[in-house]
Every structure is written in structure tokens, then in C-alpha cells.
Amino acid sequence: MMGKKLNYKEMRALHISVVFAFTIGLQQLFHFPRAGWIGFTVMLIYAGFDNGTTLLRAYHRFWGAMLGVMLAYVLCLWAHFDYRAVLIIMPMVVFFAYFFLGQAYSIPTTFTVSGAILAADFYFKYTRFNETPFMLDYAICTIIAFVIVFSFEFFWFSRYRLMRRFIIEKERDVLAHLKNLFHLLHEKNIKRPVWFKMCMGVTRTLAEVGELIRNSEFESSARDMVGESFNQFIQLTETTFVKLKAIYFASFLHHHDSAYYREPYEAVARDLDRLEQLLLSLEGLTVENEAHA
């Protein structure tokens, strides 16, 4: 892990793989009832992982899973009184799981867990429905999964400062895209497909940064990292991108020597220098923090 400097996604994928490997080993070591539910809960926590919000998501989805277990118990009781109720329950559970997909982590998890339990256990060993093993088995496995994820994230993975690493990578990507657009303006005949492809790269990276900003609103440690310098970088990036597009459209008028073309061109050059300084300051701060860690 330390031999090669991995980027954010590679490091995150490696971390998740370690957690899953540990979980599978734990399931094989302890043959308690429904041990496979631990791995399923870990999968729910990490599925579609966002940038820098793993502990927050683990907390929300833990309570979502617990609510899902209780909801599944109630629905199973209802279905055992009248098996035809399953024809109503299952479509409703699936509908709500997708309907609330963009909401807080706990809400879609509740319905996902309920649907999984109903699909897996309704027709399995429930000719006589015993509520105590049902509740205890799933609740214990859910708690174990949460403890596993929390322990790895808090005591081990936090030392890698993945949030700050992600911020630096995205800032590098944005700056590289903007520089490519700026250098492309030097060409006399700018190829439109190349220009629009580079613009899409900037837009895609800014969308990932926007996701990071939204996620940081929910966690205090993330808000500390997304500080004033980061906000300055994003604001300057957006204004520079607008100026580059204005220069691109002005190039069709062939007024390269006019003030309308030259002034924004020089302003973009200054903005790119400023962006590079902000990036270097963040990288220097990261190295300093890692040295003290």
C-alpha cells in the first residue's frame, strides 16, 4: 500500500476491499445465524460511496438498517396473516426504495433492507414465525457491520486524509483542464470537437467538486477541510472558465488585437497563476499536516 502513491479512487477501492475481506473472514470464523447479513450491511454502507462522508453515511445507514429490520418484521407479520399481502408489500417496498434514493442515507436504506429481508426470509423457515430470533439475528449482525466499518474508518483509514487528497486531485484536474483550454486558444484554427471535449472535462470535474461541497455540509471534519482557500479556488475556477469561453467565441470575430480580446486573455493568464498558487499552498499545508501527524 505504501510502495506506490495511489490516487483517491484507488486508495478508497483498496480500503473497501480490505473491509470486505475482513468481513468475509469474520463470517467464516463465526458461524452464527445469518452471518451473511454482516457483509450485506457493509455493502449497503459502502455502495456508491461519496467523497469524504463515509463515517457520516455509516451512521445514517446503520440506523436505516435497524429501522429496515423492524419494518421488515412488521411486514412479515402482516404477510403471515394473509400471504396475498406480499403482492402489495413487495412492489411498495421497491417503489419507496427507489423513490427516496436521493434523500438522506437512512431513508432508502430502510426500504432496501426491508425488501432484502422479505425476499430472503419470507419463504424460508417461517411456517411458524418466531419474532425473537428474527429481530435479534438481524440487529446483532447490523451492529457488528457498523462496528467493523467504524473501526476501520476511524482508527485506520482516517490517517490517509482521503478528503484532502481528493480535494488536491480535483484541483489539479481543474487546473490542467483550464490550462489546456488556454493553450488551445493559441491555435489559429481551433477544432470545435477538441474544445467541447475539454469543456466537458472541466464541467465533469466541477460537478464532482460540487458533490464534495454538498457532502461536506453534513460533517464537521469535512467542513474544516473545505475552507476559505478551497472556496476561493472554486470561485476563481468558475470565473476563469467563463472568461475562456468568452475568448473562444470572440476568436471567431478575428479581433485578436483588440482590447475586447486582449484584456480577458491577460486576465485569464493572471487567474491561472493565482489558481496555481492556491493549489501549491494547499499541497504545502497537506505535507505539513502529514509531517505533524
Residues 164-173 pLDDT 10s? 777 788 888 8
Say how many C-beta atoms besides its own lie within 10 A of residue 138's C-beta.
26
| Together in a domain, 124 and 195 | no
| Together in a domain, 165 and 214 | yes
Nearest to 40 by CA among 115, 149, 147, 142: 142
End-to-end CA distance of the chain: 18
| Together in a domain, 83 and 44 | yes
Which whole-number Å values give the CA distances from 248 to 110, 187, 215, in the listed order? 49, 11, 34
| Together in a domain, 19 and 148 | yes
Total domain count, the chain: 2
Say how many C-beta atoms besides its own lie within 10 A of residue 263's C-beta.
12
Domain boundary among 134, 158, 182: 158
Q: Tell whether the model's pLDDT for residue 270 goes beyond 60.
A: yes
Exposed / middle / buried, residue 177 (Cβ in 10 Å: 0-12, 13-18, 19+): buried
| Together in a domain, 114 and 179 | no
Binned at pLDDT 50, 70 and 90, residue 292 comes out as very low
Q: Give the tens place of pLDDT for each residue, 49-105.
A: 555 555 666 777 778 888 888 888 888 778 777 777 778 888 888 888 777 765 666
Give pTM, 2 decimals: 0.66
Task: Confirm whether 179 is domain-assigned.
Answer: yes
| Together in a domain, 266 and 241 | yes
| Together in a domain, 99 and 112 | yes
Q: Tell whether the model's pLDDT for residue 131 goes beyond 70.
A: no
| Together in a domain, 142 and 169 | no
Residue 254 domain boundaries: 161-292
| Together in a domain, 242 and 207 | yes
| Together in a domain, 149 and 169 | no
In the predicted model, what is the mean pLDDT of residues 261-284? Answer: 81
Task: Confirm whether 3 is domain-assigned.
Answer: no
Q: Tell whether the model's pLDDT for residue 215 goes beyond 80.
A: no
| Together in a domain, 188 and 242 | yes
Q: Which helix (H) or strand (E) holds 262?
A: helix 259-292
In the predicted model, what is the mean pLDDT of residues 247-262? Answer: 67
Task: Confirm whether 2 is domain-assigned.
Answer: no
Q: Give the tens place of pLDDT for each residue, 38-48.
A: 888 888 777 65
